[in-house]
Structure 1
Amino acid sequence: MKPDTLDWTLCRTFLHILEGGSLSAAARHLGFSHVTVRRHLEALEGVLGGPLFTRSPTGLLATDLAHRIAPAARSMAAAAASLTRTATTDQEAIGGTVRIAASEVVGGEVLPPMLMELRRAHPALRFELALSDVPEDILRRDADVAVRMMEPTQASLVARRVGSVPLGLYAEARWIDANGLPADAAALLATRALIGQDRRTEYLAALAACGVGASRHHLGFASDSALAQLAALRAGLGIGVMQVPMACRAPSLVRVLPEIEFALEMWLVTHPDLRHAARIRVVMEALASELQGYLQGRRNTWTGGRDRPPQPGTTTFPPGPILLQP
């Protein structure tokens, strides 16, 4: 197969069939007729030299060939989306789409009010928010801007350090009323009510670094979703980790063993080709200011709690290995 014989339209149709499980689903999403979708599939199979799907009572099943080409097709889709965002946005106009990558907690809990302020100042801006605790590849343009909880390792990225994010142990006041406030690490472990990760182990490693030898037997609730952990904490299921500035917004949360405190580094990152684009420059500057305000409790949005800023001697983890609830 020659490189120039592969039509992106065919790959796009293939991805929608793969995700939708049928020709009809792909046709509805793309706005094509069923016949057009089938022709696209047949044309791509002809180019690749093999079938991509087989029929089953529950729909179309992807073949081994389909699974092998899917990652490359998704990369093509990401590149096409990035090209569209770049081509349709004037470099000097403060408008257009900005795709922001962030962890579950930062993206779900911290960024939305900040993006609202940005939209109020620049109504022509549009945001796409990609939430994952696995960093997006900025060099591949999977996102325009990323909020990362570790120092970037790719030297060619444009990176700006925002600050250090303190994390501590918290419990809902109702849980404290029913179970009491642990006086030390031994009492903490005796509750067997820690909220932590399911298959991942960074949470237990972080506690161990602070002198708390916890194991899975001490967990009362386990999930690899940081948002699920936060929901469990707020529901009163036990004691969990939370960003200190975030906990300050919730009067019903009580700090548990304040001497146990972690810290994560927060960075803003963008692609070097985007640093001079007006929309990226505005978003980077605004987020830097807002996130620093969040960390320092400057804005009313983030204040009103009963905690303190990070203290000297706080445990700061090296970049990469500790990813609690970023």
Structure 2
Amino acid sequence: MSPQPFDWDNRRVFLAILHEGSLSAAARALRVAQPTVRRRLEALERSIGTVLFTRSPAGLTPTQDALVLGRHAEAMASEAAAFMRASSAPAGAVSGVVRITASETMGTEVLPAMLAALRVRHPRLVIELHLDNRNQDLLRRDADIAVRMVRPSQGDLLARRIGAVKLGLFAAPSYAERHGLPAGTGDLARHALIGPDRREGDLAMIRQAGLCLAREDFAIRIDDHVAQLAAIRAGLGIGICQQPLARRAPSLLPVLPAQFAMALELWLVMHQDLKPVRRVRAVCDHLAHELAVYAAPR
């Protein structure tokens, strides 16, 4: 590969193809014509002297060179996005862009109301909320602030432990009216249980909390935690829910609270280089207070 200057538009096309798997899907994602995507890919391949994708029945398959270059291109994209956020307003102003990453449940059910109150106080803030159950890399500047349910292990991060969010088994009143509620863990086998489909990590966590369940024990199998909560609320069965969410109207009924309980630590994390940036600090302080209230035992 010859060290040619890297064209930013070609980089965007390359990453779009890498993520989407085809020229047409990349074109839709970028909102450009497919011939433009093809032309830029061919220009990039000529400039570096290597083939980046091969055709397969499933679409375009990245070569080993593409996978190696993809990691660098992702890092460049993250740094470019971080640059744009940093330049969106002066460091001393509570305005401009702040990017937050959180799990799908926290981002859907918990953070929106907190962020609405924040923007009432600081209407010039622009919030980017990225929802992903995987932990985004704050060292690579994928986000400015992370709301995490596990203790961060990376260095150079400022991590604030907010508390612990308690979880339990819950059911909707409509389910209890039809089927009753179990008197003990031995009764769970005759009930419709809601739980993970293919997430072995979730199943392992349930077992560590004291429920010896296998995938086959769940009548409703869903990996998405927000969809699990929706299924519990709809009366499909009994499932695990964060206690503060279960208390919201319409409230859910606790199931075996003395026999099953677990908790997830709640952390607020930011890169230490962002501490002097007033808008990031304001968002972090606001979320720290609101999340502490959310997680407080009742």
TM-score of the aligned structures, taking structure 2 as reference length = 0.89
Other-structure match for 1:285 = 285
Cα-to-partner distance string for 1:259-309 (whole Å, 9 max, x where unaligned): 11101110100011111101101000000011111123xxxxxxxxxxx73
Alpha-carbon deviation of 1:2? 5.1
| Structure 2 equivalent of residue 15 of structure 1 | 15
Separation in structure 1 between the aligned mates of residue 241 and residue 27 of structure 2, nearest angstrom: 41
C-alpha deviation, 1:214, in angstroms: 1.8
Q: Which residue of 1 aligns with 2:257?
A: 258
CA RMSD of aligned residues (A): 2.6
Q: Helix, strand or coil for the counterpart of 1:153?
A: coil
- CA distance 1:34–1:248, change in 2 (3 Å): closer
The one-letter amino acid of 2:80's match is: A
SS of equivalent residue, structure 2 residue 168: strand
- Structure 2 unaligned blocks of 5 or more: none
Offset at residue 56 of structure 1 (A): 8.4
Letter in 1 for 2:223: D
Secondary structure, counterpart of 1:15 in structure 2 = helix
Give structure 1 stretches of 5+ with no counterpart. Answer: 297-307, 310-326
1:175-220 deviation digits (Å, cap 9, x = unpaired):
11111110001012332x2111112234443443343322223211
Q: Residue 139 in 1 paired to residue 139 in 2?
A: yes
- In the alignment, what sits opposite 1:101? 101
Q: Is the 8 A contact 1:20 1:26 kept in 2?
A: no
SS at match of 1:101: strand
Distance 1:27 1:133 in 2: 25
DSSP 3-state at the match of 1:146: strand
Cα distance change, pair 129–167 in 1 and its aligned pair in 2 (3 A): same
- Change in 2 beyond 3 A, CA 1:229/1:57: closer
Q: Which residue in the other structure is 1:274 paired with?
A: 274
Alpha-carbon distance change, 276 to 46 in structure 1, aligned in 2, over 3 angstroms: same
Matched, 1:150 2:163: no
Residue in 2 aligned with 1:221? 220
Whole-Å Cα distance in 1 between the matches of residues 231 and 34 of structure 2?
45
Alignment-mate amino acid for residue 110 of structure 1: V
Contact 1:220 1:237 in 2 (8 A): no
Give the aligned length. Answer: 295
Q: CA deviation at 1:38?
A: 4.8
- Aligned residue for 1:120, secondary structure, equals helix
Aligned pair in 2 of structure 1 residues 3, 95: CA closer, same or farther (>3 Å)?
farther
Q: How far does residue 101 in structure 1 lie from its aligned partner after superposition?
A: 0.7
Q: Contact 2:135–2:148 (CA<8 Å) still a contact in 1? A: yes
Cα offsets for 1:18-60 (capped at 9, x unmatched): 53833796399366x77765543232111221333567899x6
> Kindly tell me: are residues 54 and 264 of structure 1, through their superposed partners in 2, closer, same or farther at Cα, counting changes over 3 Å?
closer
Tell me how far apart the structure 1 counterparts of residues 115 and 124 of structure 2 sit (CA, whole Å): 12
> Sequence identity, in percent?
47
Residue 249 of structure 2: SS of its match in structure 1?
coil
Judge which range, 150-159 or 65-74, deviates more. Answer: 65-74
Which aligned pairs between 1:15-54 and structure 2 lie closer than 5 A? 15-18=15-18, 19=20, 21-22=22-23, 26=27, 29=30, 37-53=37-53
Structure 2 counterpart of 1:209: 208
For the 8 Å contact 2:100–2:127, the answer to whether it is kept is yes
